Amino acid sequence: MSNLCWIRRDLRLHDHAALAKALSQGETTIVFIFDKFILDKLTDKHDRRLTFIYESLREIESEVQKKGSSILIRYGDPVDEIPKLSQELKIKNVYCNRDYEPYAKERDSKVANKLASLGVNFEQFKDSVFFEKNEVLTLQGGIYKVFTPYKNKWLEIFEKSGKTVSDFECHLKNLRKFSNPKNILDHDWYKDIGFIETPPPLTGGSKKALKLLKDFDSKIDFYEEKRNFPSLPGTSNLSVYIRHGNLSVRDLIRAAISHRSEGAKTWLSEIIWRDFYQMILDSFPHVAKGSFKKDYDKVKYSGGEKEFNAWREGKTGYPIVDAAMRHLNQTGMMHNRLRMIVASFLCKTLLVDWRKGEQYFAEKLLDFDLAANNGGWQWSSSSGCDAQPYFRIFNPYSQSEKFDPKGEFIRQWVPELSHLNGKDIHHPSPLLAPEYPGPIVNYEANRKRCLDMYAVVKST
């Protein structure tokens, strides 16, 4: 029986639910499709994410070549390409892992219908999350809308299962053999898809991901105390590998439960947050375009293009915000604490609609994930499920002093402030730093405006 395994955001050959199933059923061909509907939305032709994906595919191809096989790559509409390949290769089963984003669900439904008309079986698997939405429910059988009760139930179910974290074994001997396998990545796919090779700061692929995960083993116990400081090596640096599936969620959980420290518990909690946001997007797809709490769509943001442009260029006059945004623009990466700071600053200090910030992150982040990005921005703007209350407004000065106390991160990314020390680097004056812009808005004045701006929601 001939099978097709369609890989998407699961770029690995180990612990892979769909691939394990396909290989267990017989001869299997792996295919990856550069989805034109996704790529057409990317305006920056130097998008580093494409190179990260390409590097991940190159690693997979290198491994399957050792088995006399090769992956197939196509560019186009998967709704056409998957059925076409199924006919060309006389495929009986198409397997893939589930994706919870609205576009992906609609696309996969169309693929399933087309394959059914051809007599081809289409099957999807839970893989990118540990528990799906119907597996963690309230006592009334509903969907959790608050994280802490969800986490407690998640952990309760996990404990009752005996903390079993199964590994989906992928027996590559059943990969389809080619009489003369040719590395399909020798072809210039960058030209075909209209992008330019632009190396990201992190190399794509499972080998690098597994090494980073192993390295994190010596740091995980200190994760709780160091994770909020961007100048410290206190995080795993795995988010982009998790997003593209170079690691499985089970790899992460196994690493977390191998320790009993507070740091490991906190890291596991972050993994559960990821499941939570995927579940929210799956259950309430309207969040992709608007507020989870629909009343918050009534908020009238008064900030304009001037404020938004200063924010995205890192020229607001608030050092920690500017350092974070310049780091994002140059690397495609941002520390989680900094994401909260700059998000709160955009919508609650600059008074700019959170959706503009969400979209900018979607364009820039190497680890962009719709569920997590949307959930984070709605948390910061108080418009989402279990979000911070509207009156909680991060003070960029106190956040800077608390989480970059010596100004090390600021000094690295805002060179015009590199000569300053102490409080001066957090509150630079024009006399000490004439090349650095003054604050674009007054924090205290805009804090009051923000509270008034949310008045429409307070009254409902």
| Measured torsion, CA atoms of residues 99, 100, 104, 108, in degrees rounded to the nearest 10 | 70
DSSP helix, strand, coil percent of the chain (3-state; round to 5)? 55, 5, 40
Residues 406 and 430 in one domain: yes
Tens-place pLDDT, residues 371-386: 999 999 999 999 999 8
Residue type, 61: E
Does residue 357 form part of some domain? Answer: yes
Report the pLDDT value the prediction gives residue 135, as an integer from 0 to 100.
97
pLDDT, residue 173, reads: 96
pLDDT of residue 303: 96
The 10s digit of each residue's pLDDT in 163-187 is 889 999 999 999 999 876 667 777 8
64, 145, 203, 294, 424 from 207: Cα distances, Å: 14, 36, 9, 43, 43
Identify the domain boundary among 94, 126, 158: 126
Confidence at residue 459, expressed as pLDDT on a 0 to 100 scale? 58
- Residues 122, 136 within the same domain: no
Q: Read off the DSSP letter of residue 437.
A: P
Question: Does 93 share its domain with 139?
Answer: no
**Residue 388 pLDDT class (50, 70, 90 cuts):** confident
Q: Are residues 250 and 310 in the same domain?
A: no
The domain that holds 70 is classified in CATH as 3.40.50.620
Q: Is the dihedral of CA 87, 88, 91, 96 positive or negative?
A: negative
Query: What is d(CA 190, CA 392) in angstroms, rounded to the nearest whole number?
Result: 45
Closest CA to 443 of 353, 345, 299: 345
Q: Which residues contact 211 (CB under 8 A, 6 or more apart)?
A: none
Average pLDDT for 122-128: 98
Which tokens go with 150? 């969800």
pLDDT attached to residue 460:
57
Per-residue pLDDT averaged across 26-55, rounded? 96
Q: How far is CA 284 from CA 37, 51, 101, 102, 278, in A?
A: 23, 32, 10, 10, 10
**201 pLDDT band (50/70/90 cuts)?**
very high
Query: What average pLDDT does the structure give for the chain?
Result: 95
- Any domain includes 185: no
In this predicted structure, the answer to whether residue 338 has a pLDDT above a threshold of 60 is yes
* Backbone phi, psi, residue 96, to 5°: -155, 165
143 strand-pairing partners = 137
Output the domain CATH number for residue 145: 1.25.40.80
- 128-146 b/e with 16+ CB inside 10 Å = b? bbbbebeebeeeeeebbbe
The answer to whether 351 touches 453, Cβ cutoff 8 Å, is yes
Quick one: pLDDT at residue 325?
98
- Does 120 map to a domain? yes
Looking at residues 20-29, what average pLDDT do you find? 97
Residue 258: pLDDT band (50, 70, 90) is very high
Residue 379 sits in the same domain as residue 258:
no
* pLDDT surpassing 80 at residue 437: yes
Residue 194 lies in a domain: no
How many domains does the structure of the chain reveal? 3
What is the model's pLDDT at position 456?
77
Tens-digit pLDDT profile for residues 280-324: 999 999 999 999 999 999 999 999 999 999 999 999 999 999 999
Looking at the chain, the whole-number percentage of residues with pLDDT higher than 90 is 93
Cα separation of 216 and 36, whole Å? Answer: 36
Q: Which residues, other chains included, contact 405 with Cβ-Cβ below 8 Å and sequence gap of 6+?
A: none
**402 in the same domain as 349:** yes
In a domain, 201, yes or no: no
- In this prediction, residues 2-11 reach a mean pLDDT of 98
Domain stops at, among 95, 126, 157:
126
* Assigned domain for 274 exists: yes
Q: Say whether pLDDT at 246 is over 80.
A: yes
Residues 246 and 381 in one domain: no
The boundaries of the domain holding residue 334 are 294-458
- pLDDT tens by residue, 52-109: 999 999 999 999 999 999 999 999 999 999 999 999 999 999 999 999 999 999 999 9
Residues 373, 243: contact at Cβ < 8 Å?
no
CATH of the domain at 358: 1.10.579.10
Would residue 173 count as lying in a domain? Answer: no
Burial letters 301-328, b for 16+ CB under 10 A, else e: bebeeebbebbbebbbbbbbbbbbbbbb
Domain boundary (217, 252, 283) is at 283
pLDDT score, position 188:
86
Q: Is residue 178 part of a domain?
A: no
Residues 304 and 452 in one domain: yes
Residue 396 and residue 360 share a domain: yes
- Distance between start and end Cα atoms, the chain: 60
- Mind giving me the DSSP string for 395-432? -HHHHHHHHSTT-HHHHHH-GGGTT--GGGGTS--TTT
Same domain, 112 and 249: no
What pLDDT does residue 179 have?
Answer: 72
Average pLDDT for residues 202-209, to the nearest whole number? 97
Q: Is the pLDDT of residue 21 over 90?
A: yes
Looking at residue 399, its amino acid is Q
Both 238 and 305 in one domain: the answer is no
d(CA 312, CA 360): 8
Strands 93-97 and 72-76: unpaired
Indicate whether 104 and 162 sit together in one domain. Answer: no
- Can you give the pLDDT at residue 457? 79
CA–CA dist 135, 138 (Å, integer): 10
